[in-house]
Amino acid sequence: MAHRVLHFIADFFVYETAKSVVVKSWSVGIINRVVQLLIILYFIGWVFMHEKGHQLRDTGIESAVMTKVKGLGKFNNHVMDVADYVVPSQGGSSFAVITSMVITANQTQGRCPETEDKFKCTTDDNCMAKLGSNLGNGIITGTCLNTTNGKTGWCEIEGWCPAEDDKVSEKPMKEVENFTIFIKNSIRFPMFNVTRGNFPSSLNQSYIQSCHYDPVDHPFCPVFKVGDILRHINQSLDSITDKGGEIGININWKCNLDYNVMYCNPIYFFTRLDAAFENSVASKGYNFRFAKYHQSEDGTERRMLHKAKAIRFEIIVSGNAGKFSTVPFLINLVAALTSVGLATVFCDIILLNFHKGADEYKAKKFEEVSGDVSESANNRHCEGSQMSIKALEKSSNDSGTFSIGRQEAHSSSNQ
């Protein structure tokens, strides 16, 4: 029993390594090394240097954005300041700057005629057909108003009266071009516990108050002029104030944390977010309605309805950070080493098929055991030592000329 355990341990610590055939051939040797070199270059250049295959990547960036718009404009002879034109007011990552409004003042609940063209009528039947429509300014009652003398009138609605007439158009607030947006963005890569801000702490108050972002001259300035942004996305002010629009301010963090964290800085770029709908005939632009509510002395509620065309800004923060990590590094390294071994597959094909002396290589590389080998083995054991030469001769044939036809198939199965 102890003997068997000992035997097992001895067997366990036996070392096994592949037997190799060494071919002293300049042509195949050079091809082999060149192919290996190409594979190594590919891994170093592409997998490791370009694709950062040795880094663990944190794509779960956490971000907090604070914005502050500054600027004064004139709309309809009123001076508009931040509290008037920025909605919502809290300075989050998504906000709209109102550039023009259609204001319907002093609305109260009641009944009055529609103003939309699609609710024109000549008889009550025209309006009955539109009962339940969601497209009017109020609930269609089914009555056609102002139709004396056969004139075209409007369907009556129940709701906030008078109805909004959004065909009135005021000149938009052009000063928006000079408005500035201050962006404070602080991000965190939770995997590496790295926190960064979008501008260095060393920037002083007066620089921040006077600078405007420029990718070349002021890459760290966190103040963006609306006019500059429009220029970056090749849009004129008119094209965007005409119907309203959405602008994305992308803050992209791409950090290689193998270097000093000081180099982890964002890149800004700007997009017109509704660009995907640029060629769409329907639903262009951006507008929304809101109301300011008042109460008359007699207690009736009045409201001032605003249909606002606006530029909506969305601060979109994206990014990822990479840092050396053993798991992806080793997986890619093993892939690289294994791939280097694949050069042999390629060279074997050449060596065993297209090289002079291919047959001889085959004879050396492949050693054959036939399915009925056990019988010949038995024979060999029975035969005396004087027969061993012959047996060896046979064995030499086994891995030699005898099996050439055989091996052709093999080499092709290698391909």
- In the annotated binding site for ATP, the residues are 68-70, 180, 287-289, 307
Q: What are the tokens at 44?
A: 């170093």
Number of other residues whose CB lies within 10 A of the CB of residue 143: 18
The reply on whether position 410 binds a copy of itself by CB under 8 A is: yes
In sequence order, the β-bridge partners of residue 69 are 181
- Start-end of H helices in 195-291: 205-210, 226-232, 237-243
Tell whether the torsion through CA atoms of 92, 97, 102 and 105 is positive or negative: positive
Q: How far is the CB of 145 from a copy of itself (least distance, A)?
A: 17
Please pick, from the candidates 71, 153, 266, 322, the single residue that binds a copy of itself as defined by CB under 8 A: 71
Q: Among residues 147 and 364, whose Cβ is nearest to a copy of itself?
A: 364
Q: Among residues 46 and 354, whose Cβ is nearest to a copy of itself?
A: 46
Rule CB under 8 A: which of 377-406 touch a copy of itself?
377, 381, 385, 388-393, 395-396, 400-401, 403, 405-406
Q: How far is the CB of 120 from a copy of itself (least distance, A)?
A: 17
Q: How far is the CB of 148 from a copy of itself (least distance, A)?
A: 27
Pairing of strands 245-256, 301-324: parallel
Rule CB under 8 A: which of 261-290 touch a copy of itself?
271, 273-283, 286, 288-290
Q: Among residues 123 and 296, whose Cβ is nearest to a copy of itself?
A: 296
Please pick, from the candidates 40, 84, 220, 256, the single residue that binds a copy of itself as defined by CB under 8 A: 84
The reply on whether position 54 binds a copy of itself by CB under 8 A is: no
Please pick, from the candidates 201, 216, 238, 382, the single residue that binds a copy of itself as defined by CB under 8 A: 201
The reply on whether position 96 binds a copy of itself by CB under 8 A is: yes
Please pick, from the candidates 1, 3, 5, 13, the single residue that binds a copy of itself as defined by CB under 8 A: 13
Over the window 307 to 346, marking each residue x when it contacts a copy of itself by CB under 8 A and - when it does not, the resulting string is ---x-x-x-x-x-x-----xx--xxx-xx-xxx--x-x--
The reply on whether position 237 binds a copy of itself by CB under 8 A is: no
Is residue 105 classed as helix, strand or coil in its secondary structure? strand
Distance of CA 298 to the CA centre of its chain: 57
d(C-alpha 78, C-alpha 377), whole Å = 108
Question: CB under 8 A: which stretch of 145-153, 230-238, 255-263, 302-310 binds a copy of itself?
Answer: 302-310
Tell whether the torsion through CA atoms of 86, 87, 89 and 90 is positive or negative: negative
Q: How far is the CB of 164 from a copy of itself (least distance, A)?
A: 9
d(C-alpha 266, C-alpha 285), whole Å = 29
Please pick, from the candidates 305, 321, 322, 323, the single residue that binds a copy of itself as defined by CB under 8 A: 305
134 contacts 63 by C-beta, under 8 angstroms: no
Rule CB under 8 A: which of 17-46 touch a copy of itself?
17-26, 28-30, 32-33, 46
DSSP string, 111-163: EEE--SGGGEESSHHHHHTTTT-SSSSSEEEEEEES-GGG--EEEEEEEEESP
**Residue matched to tokens 């890619």:** 332
Q: Which residues contact 24 (CB under 8 A, 6 or more apart)?
A: none
In a 13 Å sphere around the CA of 349, the CA atoms on its Cβ side amount to: 9
The reply on whether position 162 binds a copy of itself by CB under 8 A is: no
